[in-house]
Structure 1
Amino acid sequence: MTFNFSYRNPYDNIELNLYTCGHEACKSLHSYGPAIRSGHLIHIVLSGKGTYKINNTVYTLSARDAFLIYPNELIYYEADKDDPWEYIWVGLVGTKVCDYLNKTSISKSNPIFTLRDDSLLVNSINSIIDSTKIDTNKNLKILSTLYNFLFELLNEFPNTANNNKNTQQTYLEEALLYIQLNFQDNISIIDIATHLSIDRSYLHRIFKKNLNISPQEYILNLRLEKAAELLSTTSLTIGDISRSVGYNDTMLFSKTFKKHNGCTPSLYRKFNEIVKY
């Protein structure tokens, strides 16, 4: 059985997309290379044996073994003469692919990995292959199966070397995103900590360590920056702007704005309004 899919529009989603996937039962000594690939490819051996060569190192692989091919690296792989392998593969492109793969224990120095007995990665790649065969909303289906594959990959092969650092960075990124999406509302530090399922004091330490300000200061700065932008680029009333950045009390907003910017919102608008031609 052979199925080989090459995606014609790999940059529909710039962060992550599929450019190839497939399933092949190889003939004796069937080989690829020496050659380079333009994206990241993962092959999983379903049965049989074969060899993978990179940087003068040769790996002998069999069922449940897998290998990751990095872009622009000279590689060669070949099916065994007597027991040729059958494998499936998926190729990924996009600006976030490296970030996702760096969160796994798989690396250039360790490109070989073995699936657990209860691994869902084969099913995940089969779902990707199936998604390429539909006609309606194909792009969305492909993208959803790719994210599911990466989820299973990170779940099965997590990078534990910098676990604490990665955890703190993840909490910080999620906190900043939550604030960006909710700063217009009356959110509190407890709301953010609850959303992340962490203690508020731990959240405070993460902000101070990474941004050198407290979460409260970050929210305040974001609200006032957004207010200044609205004052200089829109004709919204002071009250409308106040409510748009999380202040239901316009007087409190004006007092806070003046304290941090040295003038009232009205004066700020007067001296900073962008002339519209």
Structure 2
Amino acid sequence: MDIEYKRVDIEHVDCNIVFYGQEQTHPNYAFGGNNVRDSYVLHLIVSGRGRFASAGRKTVALQAGDCFLLPQAVPCFYQADGDDPWAYEWIGLSGLHLGELFARSGLSDKYWLRKVGDSRFAAQFAALFKTLHGATSLVNELQVQSRLYAMFADLLQEFPGQGAQERAGATATMNQAVAFMRQNYARRCNVTDVCAALHVSRSYLYALFRRFADMSPQQYLTQLRMDEAKQLLRDTASGVDAIADRVGYRDAFTFSKAFKRAVGVSPRAFRQ
């Protein structure tokens, strides 16, 4: 019989739902809270009309069947119509790759799309929103993740942004860098090793990590090591020497200094 075997190297896309909600607004209602957010909030307008603008952009009129995005760290203004105030559903999102996902879509830059109501993307949004209301269970959590990724796949297919090909190349390189770090941080790899493996310059790698992760490659690598160290300190009885070796440090002294600098307490104090 014929046999097929192929290795797969697909990096997990870091994307998480942190909240969701819905609202039928009052006439001329405008959000009065903090308009600079530390997450992304995707809105689908289900009825009515309103106005939306992001920093430095003109106000646009939107209505049922349109959508808009409140991007991370970008001030936005949105207000319900005085005669036909809108109702919308929203999903709040966070994650390392979210900025790049939205940047590769038609939501890039202007942060709104018209006439998405009959699209697969809108259908996936509705299915995801419904699933979020389900009882908490492993099956429900898997369905939420599945529909979340399906929604983004349809967003990128149906409403691609300009310059998506260039950004796709940068995303692929970033994913390869993160995968290499995850696979090799215990082997004491450093930023030079990452650059050599990917055949990129140190300055290019730095620019990628600042763009996608808002930190340097060295900071990201240290964060990987500290996250693993904290888990080992919590969940195992391994000594500090053994944990230092497992997360890529040559000795416990160097590891303990790095851990206290990153976490604020020593490994032993963290364990207690």
TM-score (norm 1): 0.52
Q: Tell me if the contact between 2:66 and 2:117 (Cα under 8 Å) persists in the aligned partners.
A: no
CA–CA separation in structure 1 for the residues paired with 2:177 and 2:27: 54
Deviation at 1:172, TM superposition (A): 7.7
Match for residue 42 of structure 1?
42
Query: What are the within-5 Å matches in structure 2 for residues 142-153 of structure 1?
Result: 142-153=144-155
Unaligned segments of structure 2, at least 5 residues: 1-11, 179-197, 201-249, 251-272
CA distances 1:94-145 after superposition (whole Å, capped 9, x unpaired): 11111211221322x3112113464123322222222222232133222222
Match for residue 22 of structure 1?
21
Q: 1:169 to 1:31 in 2, by over 3 A?
A: closer
Q: Tell me if the contact between 1:20 and 1:91 (Cα under 8 Å) persists in the aligned partners.
A: yes
Match for residue 159 of structure 1?
161
CA–CA separation in structure 1 for the residues paired with 2:43 and 2:177: 36
TM-score (norm 2): 0.53
Q: 1:106 to 1:80 in 2, by over 3 A?
A: same
Displacement over 4 Å in runs of 4+: 166-177
CA distances 1:48-88 after superposition (whole Å, capped 9, x unpaired): 11112332632221122221111223323221111111222
Unaligned segments of structure 1, at least 5 residues: 1-12, 178-209, 213-273
Q: 1:96 to 1:119 in 2, by over 3 A?
A: same
Match for residue 235 of structure 2?
none
Does the alignment pair 1:60 with 2:57?
A: no
CA–CA separation in structure 1 for the residues paired with 2:168 and 2:28: 45
Q: 1:71 to 1:116 in 2, by over 3 A?
A: closer
Deviation at 1:26, TM superposition (A): 2.1
Amino acid at match of 1:126: A
CA RMSD of aligned residues (A): 3.9
Deviation at 1:161, TM superposition (A): 2.3
Query: What are the within-5 Å matches in structure 2 for residues 240-251 of structure 1?
Result: none
Q: Tell me if the contact between 1:105 and 1:157 (Cα under 8 Å) persists in the aligned partners.
A: yes
Match for residue 268 of structure 2?
none
Deviation at 1:159, TM superposition (A): 2.4
Deviates more, 1:55-64 or 1:97-106: 55-64
Q: How many residues align?
A: 177
Match for residue 263 of structure 2?
none
Q: Tell me if the contact between 1:28 and 1:80 (Cα under 8 Å) persists in the aligned partners.
A: yes
Amino acid at match of 1:87: Y
SS at structure 1 position matched to 2:161: coil
Task: Decide which structure has greater strand share.
Answer: 1
CA distances 1:160-196 after superposition (whole Å, capped 9, x unpaired): 4253x4566678899999xxxxxxxxxxxxxxxxxxx
